[in-house]
Amino acid sequence: MINPYEHPLFEERDLEGLFRKTWEIYKKHFGWLFLYSFLGILVLQSFLFTSRLRELISFDYLTNPEKMVEQIGSMFLLLVVFFIGYSILYLFLHYYILYQEWKPENNHFILIKESIKKFALPYLATMFLAFMILITGMMLGVIFFVIGMFAAMIYFAAIFTPISTLLIVEETNPLEAITGSFKLVHKDLWKTLGYVVVFYILYFVIGIILSSIITAPFAGNFFEFLSPETSTEIAKTSNSLLSDISPAYILISSATSAVTIPLAPIFSILIYFNLKSGQEKTY
């Protein structure tokens, strides 16, 4: 078990310090973080674009409504697979960064084994509960129009930013992780909210720029997809887009995502230690 007060990252930082340290850790561990992220995303994207799933995620139900139930069920299964896959990937990235910064001599295979064995089920349960709370908050926010929905989304994004690190470091159960994250963030809510908003704005802008570069060769098909004249054309265009996806595109897309994905776990870890350090000073 990690003692948060003895961890090298235990320090209160301002926004500039958080960004600087995030970049330092990112550069220091980039090779391994990129490799593990790339492999994880590659497996998920390869699964997505198998020939069977191309049929399931097409828009054939627009011309054949009888297929709607089957495709909705298949899409739900796909979402479950991606939820589990990305959760396990983020769990390991958090675990890897925490332990490599604490004890760099840790064996990677042992870290993978320990993270899955000790935290996979609690982490999945925590992420599911957090996701349900987020969706519920956003639905309630709709009552106050779109602004309320976005306010709820931003609030819960800040609340749940340190939850993964808290679960691993303090080895809590899912409910304790959620309540602990609420209590920890509310010790310095507005500052944390500001840090999280600035980070994720930059994070998404970088992601959009990289993704646009990768998808540029496919722009013609995409714009054709946006403005079909009939439902039949939607189905045809959808199937055409799916059939055009090549192994090279999957590799490049996975590599692009792997460049940015490690930034989020690093930042969330630093937010946790930032709040812990500030919490200690209030006692």
What's the pLDDT at 138?
80
- List pLDDT tens digits, range 198-216: 999 999 999 888 877 776 6
What's the pLDDT at 176?
94
What is the rounded CA–CA span in Å between residue 177 and residue 163? 6
Please report which confidence band the pLDDT of residue 238 belongs to, taking 50, 70 and 90 as the band edges.
very low
Least confident of 10-19, 219-228, 260-269: 219-228
pLDDT over 80 (residue 64):
no
Whether the CB-CB separation of 254 and 42 falls below 8 Å is answered with yes
Which one has a higher pLDDT value, 98 or 105?
Answer: 98
Half-sphere exposure of 60 (CA within 13 A, CB side): 14
Please report which confidence band the pLDDT of residue 2 belongs to, taking 50, 70 and 90 as the band edges.
confident
Burial group, residue 66, by CB count within 10 angstroms (0-12, 13-18, 19+): exposed
pLDDT over 90 (residue 39):
yes
Burial group, residue 111, by CB count within 10 angstroms (0-12, 13-18, 19+): middle
Cα–Cα separations (whole angstroms), residue 89 to 105, 128, 144, 225: 21, 15, 35, 32
Whether the CB-CB separation of 232 and 62 falls below 8 Å is answered with yes
- Sequence letter at residue 187: K
- Sequence letter at residue 244: D
What's the pLDDT at 230?
43
Spatial neighbors of 145 by CB under 8 A, at least 6 apart, are none
pLDDT over 60 (residue 190):
yes
What's the pLDDT at 210?
84
Please report which confidence band the pLDDT of residue 222 belongs to, taking 50, 70 and 90 as the band edges.
very low
What the block records as the tokens of 167 is 């679960």
Tally Cβ neighbours within 10 Å of residue 124: 16
